[in-house]
Chains A and B, each alone.
Chain A
Amino acid sequence: MPQQTSPPARVATRDPLAWAVALVALGAFAGCIALWRTGGGTIDVSWARELDLRLHFSFDGIGALYGLLATGIGAAVFAYATAYVPLHLDHQARPARDRWRFWPWMALFMLSMVGLATAQDLILLFVLFDVTAVCSYFLIAFDRQERASRLAALMALLVTGGGAVAMLIGAVILYADHGTFSIPELASLLRTQDEAGGIATGTTVAIGLIAAAALIKSAQVPLHFWLPRAMAAPTPVSAYLHSAAMVAAGVLVIGRVFQLVEVAPVVQDGMLAIGLLSIAVGGALSLTRDGFKQVLAYSTISQYGYVVMLYGIGGRDGATAAAFYVVAHAIAKSALFLTAGTVTMAAGCRRLSTVGGLARELPVLAVASALAAATLSALPLTIGFFKDELFFRAAAEHSTLLGVVSVLAAGLTFAYTWRFWGGIFLGERRVGGAADDAAAAAKPLAPVPALLTAPIAVLAVLAVLGGIVVGPFAELASDAAGATLGHDVQLQLAYHLDARETWMAALAWLLGGLLLATPKAWGPAARALSRAGERFGPSHVYELSLSAVNRWSDRLHDVEVRDLRSRVAAVLLPGGILVALGFAATPTAGVFQIGSIDGTDLLVVALLALVAIAAGVVAFTHQHIAIVLALAVVGLGLATVYALLGAPDVALVAMLVETVVTLVFLAIVAYAPRGERPSRRELAGVASEPQRRHTHSRRWRDPLIGVVAGAAAFLVIWGALSRPTPAERVVDELVRLTPAAHGRDVVTVILADFRGLDTMVEVTVIGVAVFGVIALLRRGRTW
């Protein structure tokens, strides 16, 4: 990174956009605290009544907890990003205006998380769930010049978006069975049903789908692979995504729909199993990773595994512990991620194998992130101690086996957390690993702006404060658990040196220390698991299916475009045959009549003859210009026929459209190769053997298709015109109603009023089509 010598003062900006977003976050945080202390509030507005949708938000315990996280952690991360983003853009030699690709999405991310935290309606939940996915897509792909970033963003969007679809299906099944999207209503309905003798299988499936969507969002095994890939995002995005948004949205949804999950024990047991699996897989893989952010990413998978497992245990203990765990984890994990970003900015490397011994040079950062690491590994005097105490209690109350497993899991957490911290700050500076990192490692540290350390220190102080004055945090967690369970919960936390949980924690630290001291003992096994996962794991399946879908779409595209005429034939020929069958089956007596011809009819007949001749020209000529002009004759001739038949509106529009279409066609002809359309003989001359056979067969096929389709259309229209249908009465009714709609021109009133919705959809299609064409021609430039 050559630009790193530039003094940070130059890029440490006073960017008003960045500060505005950060201040909005801070203000929203204050607002959330005020709302929480005053007992919240509810907004319930009807929205699309026919579909039974409501904009139902309620700032309850869950809303308070996740709202405070999204805005509070958001404020810290955003403050950090005001210094980070300019440096990041500077390193990549990108213009400062690219920050517009960052801040608005971050603000929307925060807003959608607050909305998600307070939403009480399944459809609303789905919509906001997807908004977070879209935001994360653009933020992960912030370095859009890099292929890895684009693919990672696509993966995150596809995997979590697919989950969201499952959630929508689940919501619709529940609506079909119970007639409401409202989560509180569904909860009480299902509880009564459960007490009356159990819920239906369909309901269980629906709840399972919703839970699956949440688990995917929280990056649980086996659909966890998108999260480590999403580390391609800039560090503040990763920090926010892991601690307070996106991944947290998954467990948020579980907390919100927990009363539904409770009546489906299968789903709850599944969550317990998946949580345990995620703890194990995430923890083991975290121990094998070298990149800072990779270590942290796998640790997140494992940490949310704890929360999912706690919800799987359920009950008062589980729900309270889960809520508290989310808070403690968010504080610690965001601080650790920001540490990784600062170290990368200072030392220019991203791997544990190329740093070390930074404690001497970055003492403040070292202490602050040590406190965060202590929180994550549940050492006393940090808020993390209580998260593990609650975790141990819930697990041990459930069963002894789960208690043992929980100690193992906590040991794993201790090991990977301190491996991360020790690798960065202790020992000597290491040189090795990837070439770019090796080069960077030789350089002295770059000066770091204060804002790249201060937010980490604030978060660390918060973590320690929570370990001493745990009351407010406990209250927040118990409020959230109350909203989750549907009844009030009390939570008292304090240090008890003789409690069972304290001994379990001590055992876990010992185990973690052992793991740290003996990397040679478990290293090969963990690396083998990692390799197996890469070769046979779900991410491999994802890539295979993505490339298969790509191949399919290419093949379909080839079939569709290679031969436009065969596509037209694919519609016309079956259509014609079906019509012929219809005629064979229905009585045709008196249907085909030949009326009298007089007056202007003679003119119409003459025009139609002209149209027929022009159509013949289109079929037989080989010159592009001639085809365009002949088509124009067809169109304008028909427009004149409309005028003669007394349909001036249609005639006007037809005339205008024909003129424009002719001009556009002529302009498009300019794109085509010069000269005549190649004749059949020429085509056959240059074509390969199979293509020649193809061309030969077409000599008979095309006219045949034309005749069949044309004859069918002719018969249908003749039959229809011979027998005026009763549908005319609809027209009479429309004519009668037109004055009531303040109009005198029936056609306009039908278009703009009676059939307004049709028109709306049609013009939207036109707009989308035109801009789609422009996007294809000009790569997204609209002008």
Chain B
Amino acid sequence: MTILTEAVARLLLAPSLMVAAAILIKGYVDVGDGFAAAVVVSLAIALQYLAFGARRAEQELPVLRFAPQTAIVGLLVALSSGFFAVISGGAPFTHEPSVGARVVRIGRLELMTAVSFDFGIFLLIAGALVALIHHLAEPPELEPDLEEDAEAAR
């Protein structure tokens, strides 16, 4: 890739992540949600992969290594915000705090189960997509014992 793409990729990373954060936080009052924010994040990462190549991108952003774990954590967050009510005998996806109750706010962000569920989806999709990009960036070497295993299974 040319110097120009590299420079643009480097410049775009922080703003794209900012946009993703905005989409995620504003999701409940404006266009966008956790899913869209996660796709924006993965696009920003994909741009880094395209501009620098897999190895350099991962050297510069070692945090990418934790993408699979992020996805799993996201799944757990989403599951627990959806199903924690079941433990106490409620229906799945019971809204907490319930309708009309006071909600804790941080600025305009309101803390409730639907929002944490959305956040879990953000983590899940972002992690899964980044892991996918990582694996597609370097084609797998064909491992010979793979076929052996298939034989053995038969």
Interface set of A (CB-CB < 8 Å, partner B): 46-50, 147, 150, 547, 550, 648-649, 652-653, 656-657, 659-660, 663-664, 667-668, 670-671, 740-745, 747-749, 751-753, 756-757, 759-760, 763-764, 766-767, 770-771, 773-774, 777-779, 782-783
Complex Cα spacing A550 to B71, Å: 33
State whether A763 and B68 are in contact (beta carbons under 8 Å apart), knowing that A664-B136, A668-B136, A770-B128 are contacts in the complex: no
Q: Is residue B51 within 8 Å, beta carbon to beta carbon, of the partner chain?
A: no
Instruction: Evaluate contact between B30 and A744: CB separation under 8 angstroms.
Output: yes
* List of B residues within 8 angstroms of A668 by Cβ: 136
CB distance from B122 to the nearest CB of A (A): 10
Q: Which residues of A contact B27 (CB under 8 A)?
A: 745, 748, 752
Known: A49-B89, A756-B82, A774-B135. A763 touches B115 (CB 8 A): no
| Contact status B39-A660, CB under 8 Å | yes
B96-139 interface (Cβ within 8 A of A): 99-100, 103, 110, 112, 114-115, 117-118, 121, 124-125, 128-129, 131-137, 139
- Contact A770-B140, Cβ < 8 Å, known A648-B31, A742-B28, A745-B31: no
B117 near A778 with CB under 8 A, answer no
Chain B residue numbers with a CB within 8 Å of A752 are 27-28, 33-34, 114-115, 117-118, 121
Find chain A residues with CB under 8 A from B9 CB: none
Contact B128 A767 (CB under 8 A): yes
State whether B31 touches A660 (Cβ < 8 A): no
- Find the residue from B115, B117, B136, B152 having the highest chain A CB count within 10 A: B136
> Which residue of chain A lies nearest to B23 when distances are taken between CB atoms in the complex?
A652
Give complex CA distance A649, B36 in Å. 9
Cβ-defined contact, A744 with B29, below 8 A: yes
Contacts of B9-57 to chain A: CB distance below 8 A: 27-36, 39-40, 42-43, 46, 50
Cβ contacts under 8 Å, A47 to chain B: 86-87
Please state if A764 and B75 are interface contacts (CB–CB under 8 Å).
Answer: yes
Closest beta carbon of chain B to A743's beta carbon, Å: 5
Contact check, B36 vs A147: say whether CB atoms are below 8 A apart: no
**Is there contact, CB below 8 Å, between B154 and A743?**
no
Residue from A147, A547, A657, A773 within 8 A of B132 (CB atoms) = A773
| A-B interface, 9 closest residue pairs, ranked by CB to CB distance from nearest | A782-B68, A667-B136, A656-B39, A756-B93, A770-B128, A753-B114, A744-B29, A748-B33, A752-B118
Q: Which residue of A lies closest to B120 (CB)?
A: A763
Contact B140 A777 (CB under 8 A): yes
A667 CA / B50 CA spacing, docked (Å): 10
With a cutoff of 8 Å between Cβ atoms, the chain A residues found around residue B146 in the complex are: 779
Interchain CB contact (< 8 A) of A783 among B68, B78, B100, B139: B68
Indicate if the CB atoms of A649 and B68 lie closer than 8 Å: no
Q: How far is the CB of A387 from chain B (nearest CB, A)?
A: 43
Docked complex Cα distance between A653 and B35 (Å): 8
Q: Are A547 and B29 in contact (CB under 8 A)?
A: no
Q: Which residues on the B side are within 8 Å of A749 (C-beta)? A: 28, 114
Complex CA distance for A749 and B65, rounded to whole angstroms: 32
A-B contact pairs, 26 of them (CB 8 A): A48-B86, A648-B31, A656-B36, A659-B39, A660-B42, A663-B50, A670-B136, A670-B139, A742-B112, A743-B29, A748-B27, A749-B114, A752-B114, A753-B95, A753-B117, A757-B82, A763-B78, A766-B124, A770-B131, A770-B132, A771-B68, A773-B132, A783-B65, A783-B67, A783-B131, A783-B134
Total number of residue pairs linking A and B with CB closer than 8 Å = 154
Chain B residues lying within 8 Å of A764, measured Cβ to Cβ, are: 75, 79
Chain B contacts of A774 at CB under 8 A? 68, 131-132, 135
Contact of B91 among A50, A649, A659 (CB under 8 A): A50
- Additional 19 contacts, C-beta under 8 A, given A667-B133, A783-B65: A652-B32, A652-B36, A656-B39, A659-B39, A668-B136, A670-B139, A671-B139, A744-B29, A745-B28, A745-B30, A745-B31, A753-B93, A753-B95, A760-B117, A771-B68, A773-B135, A778-B135, A783-B67, A783-B68
| Complex CA distance for A660 and B57, rounded to whole angstroms | 18
Of the candidates A660, A667, A744, A760, which one forms a contact with B28 in the assembled complex, judged by CB atoms under 8 Å apart? A744
> Taking CB as reference atom, which chain A residue is nearest B105?
A742
Interface residues of B (CB under 8 A from A): 27-36, 39-40, 42-43, 46, 50, 65, 67-68, 71, 75, 78-79, 82, 86-87, 89, 91-93, 95, 99-100, 103, 110, 112, 114-115, 117-118, 121, 124-125, 128-129, 131-137, 139-140, 143, 146, 152-154
Contact A767 B93 (CB under 8 A): no
Least CB separation from B128: chain A residue: A770
Partner of B154, one of A48, A550, A652, A742: A550
**B67→A653 contact, CB < 8 A:** no
Q: How far is the CB of B34 from chain A (nearest CB, A)?
A: 7
A550 near B153 with CB under 8 A, answer yes
**Which of these, B43, B91, B143, contacts A660 with CB under 8 Å?**
B43
Q: How far is the CA of A147 from the CA of B152 in the complex (A)?
A: 7
Q: Which residues on the A side are within 8 Å of B87 (C-beta)?
A: 47
A546 → chain B, closest Cβ, in Å?
10
Which partner residue on chain B sits nearest A764 by CB separation?
B75
Contact B36 A763 (CB under 8 A): no
Query: Which residues from chain A contact B30 at a C-beta distance below 8 Å?
Result: 744-745
User: Inside 8 A of B89's CB, which chain A residues have their CB?
Assistant: 46, 49
> In the complex the two chains form, what is the Cα distance from A648 to B146 in whole Å?
46
Contact of B43 among A659, A671, A757, A783 (CB under 8 A): A659
A382 to chain B, nearest CB (A): 45
Out of B34, B39, B75, B95, which one reaches A657, CB within 8 Å?
A: B39
Asked whether, in the complex, the Cβ of A653 is within 8 Å of the Cβ of B39, the reply is yes
Cα distance, A764 to B153, chains bound together (Å): 28
Are A649's CB and B86's CB within 8 A? no
Nearest B residue to A758, CB-CB: B93
Q: Tell me the complex Cα distance, A741–B114, Å.
A: 9
Q: Once the chains bind, are B33 and A747 in contact (CB under 8 Å)?
A: yes
Please state if A740 and B100 are interface contacts (CB–CB under 8 Å): yes
Contacts of B46 in A (CB 8 A): 660, 663
- How close is A493's CB to chain B, nearest CB, in angstroms? 46
Assembly CA distance A653 to B100 (angstroms): 31
Residue of B nearest to A554 (CB): B154
Q: How far is the CA of A47 from the CA of B121 in the complex (A)?
A: 26
> Shortest CB–CB separation between residue B105 and chain A, in angstroms?
10
Most A Cβ at <10 Å: residue of B34, B133, B135? B135
In angstroms, how far is the closest chain A Cβ from the Cβ of B62?
12
CB distance from A642 to the nearest CB of B (A): 12
Give chain A nearest CB distance to B111 CB in angstroms.
10
Closest CB of chain B to A256's CB: distance in Å?
A: 26
Give the shortest distance, in Å, between A70 (CB) and chain B (any CB): 27
B110 touches A742 (CB 8 A): yes
Q: Which residues of A contact B65 (CB under 8 A)?
A: 783
B67 CB to nearest A CB, Å = 7
B93 near A757 (CB under 8 angstroms)?
Answer: yes
Q: In the assembled complex, how far is the CB of residue A662 from the closest CB belonging to chain B, in whole angstroms?
A: 10
Within 8 Å CB of B103, what residues of A? 742
Nearest A residue (CB) for B37: A656
List B contacts of A745 (CB < 8 A): 27-33
Chain A contacts of B131 at CB under 8 A? 770-771, 774, 782-783
| Contact pick for B121, options A147, A550, A759, CB 8 Å | A759
Task: Count chain B CB atoms within 10 A of each CB in A657, A663, A756 and give the residue with the most.
Answer: A756
